[in-house]
């Protein structure tokens, strides 16, 4: 339809003008870190420092074997919502394992992390209620908050003092309140101030929810951000995903028995969506086996990130995610292209994924990155990136 195509073309011209037009680049992942990217008829081998497969488990032989065996036994798809006929027997095992790792009574697996966040918050929080959300929380935590139709108040990134002030002035006007935050921030790599937020949640009778997509498997001995501080914290809603360190796909919530029972009944993205394919569930169980057996392996991505920040002269990494904020989208793209020319894949992250004026390179480190490549990357970053930053200076 002409008016529809004209609309799309106009929107795209505007994105082009602002260097914000994104395109899909065909990229074959050869193993945990090496990829082959297609440039027209050419293919080029690159080492990726922008993948969330922190433990290299997406390519691990034992995990692939578990997925293959599950396909042979249970087939490809789940066939229906888990409440109808899609609840194949592997789910109970995975949920028991997740709950054990996270120290909760129960767990519920969703089709993806995005679906989990879009379903959990509206199932627990309604129009009369209050959501306080860290301004840099992941897009899907925002989606869940907005879908709840509650009063949503963002707080400054990591600012527990502002949370206290907001609870002080607003908590009394709402029957229920939720504090929602990433545990490890996906684009900044820092940790939420969970000890302070947990204390405030208790004092003001607010429910604390963490999105620990980037914490599971790599922080707190592999158990996630709730376990990364000196004392064990009370986080009644621990959400996460199976798509990062676990190496596969799917999302989950760890919580108490009654909360999980309610989620089964009220979370629309659980009730009205097909269950996760059996292969993904079996792969996640095998991944958890590995993480629980070898916490030393789970510590490697953060160690490698710290090696990089030391060599590149950047602030010490707090997680396997290291941001290098450049500023304008065009400069971040230029820096990314320079690294790519030297064989490194580090995709530029631009608005609206990050706030305007904070386009960046986002480096991620995995257990299987060779140290020699980390050293080469750090030297290149020292050389290349300041030039890119200067090129946009006023």
Ligand X SMILES: Cc1ncc(COP(=O)(O)O)c(C=O)c1O
The residues annotated as belonging to the active site are 186, 214, 244
The smaller minimum CB distance to ligand X, of residues 241 and 358, is found at 241
Q: Give the rounded distance of the alpha carbon of 147 from its chain centre.
A: 20
216-255 residues labelled b (16+ CB within 10 A) or e (exposed): bbbbbebbbbbbbeeeebebebbbbbbbbbbbbbbbbbbb
Residue pair 186/196 in contact by the 8 Å Cβ criterion:
no
Q: Is 182 in the site for ligand X (CB under 6 A)?
A: yes
Whether 257 contacts 76, CB under 8 Å: no
In the bound state with ligand X, the residue whose beta carbon lies nearer, of 216 and 377, is 216
Which residues are bridge partners to 54 per DSSP?
none
Task: State phi, psi for 247 to the nearest 5 degrees.
Answer: 85, 0
Under the phi-then-psi rule, with left for phi > 0, alpha for psi from -120 to 50, and beta for the rest, what region is 68? alpha
Phi/psi region, residue 77 (left: phi>0; alpha: psi -120 to 50; beta: rest), is: beta
Judged by CB under 6 A, which of 211, 308, 348, 367 binds ligand X? Answer: 211
Q: How far is the CB of 274 from ligand X (least distance, A)?
A: 15
Q: Does 251 bind ligand X (CB under 6 A)?
A: yes
Compute how many other C-beta atoms are within 10 angstroms of the C-beta atom of residue 68.
Answer: 13
> Considering the rule CB under 6 A, would residue 210 count as an interface residue with ligand X?
no
The mark string for 150-179 relative to ligand X (x by CB under 6 A, - otherwise) is ------------------------------
* 3-state SS class at 349: strand
Examine residue 112 and tell whether it contacts ligand X (CB under 6 A): yes
Q: Using the rule CB under 6 A, which residue among 186, 226, 238, 358 binds ligand X?
A: 186
Using the minimum distance from each CB to ligand X, give the nearer residue, 214 or 350. Answer: 214
Nearer to ligand X, 115 or 384 (CB): 115
Candidate list 32, 56, 86, 113; residue touching ligand X; CB under 6 A: 113
CA angle 255, 95, 53 (to 5 degrees): 100
Please choose, out of 112-120, 169-177, 281-289, 322-330, the segment that lies near ligand X by the rule CB under 6 A: 112-120
Among 140, 191, 331, 378, binds ligand X (CB under 6 A): 140
Q: Which of 91, 114, 207, 227 binds ligand X (CB under 6 A)?
A: 114
Which residues of this protein are in contact with ligand X, per CB under 6 A? 112-114, 138, 140, 182, 186, 211, 213-214, 241, 243, 251
């Amino acid at each position: 339809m002409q008016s529809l195509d004209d609309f799309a073309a106009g929107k795209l011209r505007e994105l082009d003008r602002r260097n914000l037009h994104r395109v899909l680049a065909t990229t074959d992942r050869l193993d945990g870190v090496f990829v082959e990217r297609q440039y027209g008829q050419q293919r080029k081998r690159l080492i990726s420092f922008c993948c969330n497969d922190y433990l290299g488990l997406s390519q691990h032989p034992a995990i692939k074997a578990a997925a293959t065996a599950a396909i042979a036994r249970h087939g490809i798809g789940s066939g229906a919502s888990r409440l109808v006929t899609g609840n194949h027997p592997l789910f109970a095992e995975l949920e028991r394992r997740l709950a054990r790792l996270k120290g909760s009574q129960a767990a519920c697996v969703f089709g993806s992390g995005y679906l989990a966040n879009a379903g959990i918050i509206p199932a627990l929080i309604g129009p009369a209620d209050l959501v306080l959300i860290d301004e840099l929380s992941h897009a899907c935590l925002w989606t869940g908050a907005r879908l709840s139709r509650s009063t949503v108040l963002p707080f400054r990134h990591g600012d527990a003092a502002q949370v206290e002030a907001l609870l002080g002035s607003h908590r009394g006007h709402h029957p229920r309140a939720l504090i929602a935050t990433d545990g490890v921030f996906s684009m900044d790599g820092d940790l939420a101030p969970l000890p302070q937020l947990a204390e405030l949640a208790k004092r003001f009778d607010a429910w604390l929810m963490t999105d620990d997509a980037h914490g599971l498997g790599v922080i707190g001995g592999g158990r996630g951000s709730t376990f990364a501080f000196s004392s064990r914290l009370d986080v009644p809603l621990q959400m996460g995903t199976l798509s990062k360190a676990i190496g596969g796909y799917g999302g989950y919530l760890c919580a108490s028995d009654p909360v999980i029972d309610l989620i089964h009944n009220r979370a629309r993205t659980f009730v009205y969506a097909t269950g996760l394919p059996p292969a993904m569930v079996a792969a996640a169980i095998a991944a958890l086996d590995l993480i629980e057996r070898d916490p030393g392996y789970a510590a490697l991505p953060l160690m490698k990130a710290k090696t990089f920040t030391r060599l590149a002269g950047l602030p010490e990494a707090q997680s396997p995610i290291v941001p290098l904020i450049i500023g304008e989208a065009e400069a971040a793209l230029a820096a990314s292209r320079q690294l790519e020319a030297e064989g490194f894949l580090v995709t530029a992250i631009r608005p609206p994924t990050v706030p305007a004026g904070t386009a960046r390179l986002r480096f991620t480190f995995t257990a299987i990155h060779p140290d020699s490549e980390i050293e080469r990357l750090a030297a290149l970053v020292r050389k290349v990136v300041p030039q890119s930053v200067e090129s946009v200076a006023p």
